[in-house]
């Protein structure tokens, strides 16, 4: 269903200009952005890529929408590729995944270049965490 839109999603997430546009949309929906704005940021990127998701707040809620309503499948950590969505563990008091992000490039089984609300440009992240919440699984459009 969404698989044909993934090349555009990767392109958007790889571009600082397009990422800024998505972050502007996210900020409109969630004024405290970038704080706790990962789902809003990813919702905006998905929408810009032509993937029909509502503006969503909450990483776990967006993961649920992609998996249950859009038919994305879970992929094990280490098997991720560009275009997959990383969903981290729930390590804080707020229920649900702590973070959600777009993989724009893999560097290995752990290191990736990602697009999210934590930087205005694509940046490095490790699935294992390296000081951040580790990734629990990835979602892939089919």
DSSP the chain: --GGGHHHHHHHHH-HHHHHHHHHHHHHH-TTTTTT-HHHHHHHHHHHTT-------SHHHHHHIIIIIS--EEE-TT---TT-EEEE---SSSSS-S-EEEEEEESSSSEEEEESTT-SS-EEEETT-SSSPPEEEEEE--
Per the model's pLDDT, the better-predicted residue between 94 and 113 turns out to be 113
Domain 3-140 classified CATH 3.60.21.10?
Answer: no
Instruction: Check whether 54 has a pLDDT greater than 80.
Output: yes
Instruction: Check whether 137 has a pLDDT greater than 80.
Output: yes
Q: Tell me the pairing of strands 100-106 and 85-88.
A: antiparallel
The pTM of this model reads: 0.96
Instruction: Check whether 13 has a pLDDT greater than 90.
Output: yes
Instruction: Check whether 45 has a pLDDT greater than 70.
Output: yes
Mean predicted lDDT score pLDDT of the chain:
95
Q: How much is the pLDDT for 23?
A: 98
Q: How much is the pLDDT for 95?
A: 62
Q: How much is the pLDDT for 3?
A: 97
Instruction: Check whether 18 has a pLDDT greater than 80.
Output: yes
Encode pLDDT of 121-130 as tens digits: 999 999 999 9
Encode pLDDT of 58-100 as tens digits: 999 999 999 999 999 999 999 999 999 999 998 766 667 899 9
């Amino acid at each position: 269903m969404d698989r044909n839109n993934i090349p555009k999603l990767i392109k958007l997430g790889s571009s600082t200009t397009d990422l800024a546009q998505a972050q502007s949309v996210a900020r409109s929906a969630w004024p405290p952005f970038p704080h706790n704005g990962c789902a809003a940021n990813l919702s905006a990127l998905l929408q810009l890529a032509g993937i029909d998701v509502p503006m969503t707040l909450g990483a776990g809620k967006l993961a649920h929408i992609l998996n249950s309503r859009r038919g994305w499948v879970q992929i094990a950590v280490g098997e991720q590729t560009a275009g997959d969505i990383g969903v981290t563990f729930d390590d804080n008091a707020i229920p649900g995944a702590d973070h959600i992000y777009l993989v724009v490039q893999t560097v290995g089984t752990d290191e990736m270049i990602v697009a999210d609300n934590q930087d205005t440009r694509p940046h490095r992240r490790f699935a294992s965490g390296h000081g951040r919440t580790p990734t629990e699984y990835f979602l892939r459009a089919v």
